Amino acid sequence: MTIDVVLCVPSCEGPIKKAFEVTGVTPAVAASGRLNEVTALEPTDGYAGAVINAAGFPFNDAMNLCRQLRHRDRPVGPIILLVDHYQLDDLTFREDLFDDFVVGPFDVSELATRLRHRLRRAGNESVAPRIEQGGLVMNLETYQATIAGRVMDLTYMEYELLRFLATNPQRVFTRETLLSRVWGYEYYGGARTVDVHVRRLRAKLGEEHAHLIQTVRSVGYKFGADAERGDGDL
Partner DNA sequence: GGGTTTTGTTAACCACGTGTGAAACGTTTC
Partner DNA sequence: GAAACGTTTCACACGTGGTTAACAAAACCC
- List phi, psi (to 5°) of 158: -60, -45
Stretch that binds DNA, among 25-33, 62-70, 124-132, 148-156 (CB under 7 A): 148-156
* Closest to its own copies by CB, 40 or 191: 191
The residue within the footprint of its own copies, chosen from 43, 58, 85, 195 (CB under 8 A), is 85
CB 144 within 8 A of CB 162: no
Cα angle at 53 between 49 and 58, to 5 degrees? 130
Q: Is 40 in the site for its own copies (CB under 8 A)?
A: no
For residues 77 and 100, give the distance between their C-alpha atoms in angstroms, rounded to a whole number. 12
Stretch that binds its own copies, among 65-73, 121-129, 191-199, 205-213 (CB under 8 A): 121-129
The residue within the footprint of DNA, chosen from 176, 190, 208, 227 (CB under 7 A), is 190
Smallest separation, CB 54 to its own copies (Å): 13
The residue within the footprint of DNA, chosen from 104, 141, 193, 211 (CB under 7 A), is 193
For residues 173 and 186, give the distance between their C-alpha atoms in angstroms, rounded to a whole number. 15
Task: Report DSSP state, residue 106.
Answer: P
| Residue 120: its H or E element | helix 108-121
Query: Helices 192-205 & 156-167, crossing angle to 10 degrees?
Result: 90
Q: Is 95 in the site for its own copies (CB under 8 A)?
A: yes
* Closest to DNA by CB, 20 or 159: 159
Q: Is 149 in the site for its own copies (CB under 8 A)?
A: yes
For residues 229 and 27, give the distance between their C-alpha atoms in angstroms, rounded to a whole number. 54
CB under 5 to 8 A by kind: which of DNA, its own copies, none does 198 bind? DNA
CB under 5 to 8 A by kind: which of its own copies, DNA, none does 193 bind? DNA
Smallest separation, CB 120 to its own copies (Å): 4
* Closest to DNA by CB, 123 or 189: 189
Give me the DSSP letters along 178-208.
HIIIII-S---S-SHHHHHHHHHHHHHH-TT
Q: Can you list the pairs that 181-186 forms with residues at least 24 positions away whose Cβ atoms lie under 8 Å?
A: 181/93, 181/94, 182/157, 183/157, 184/59, 184/60, 184/63, 184/64, 185/60
- Residues at the interface with its own copies (CB under 8 A): 1, 85, 88-89, 91-92, 95-96, 99-101, 103, 107, 109-110, 113, 116-117, 120-121, 123-124, 128, 130, 137, 139, 141-144, 146, 148-151, 155-156, 170-172, 216-219, 222, 227-234
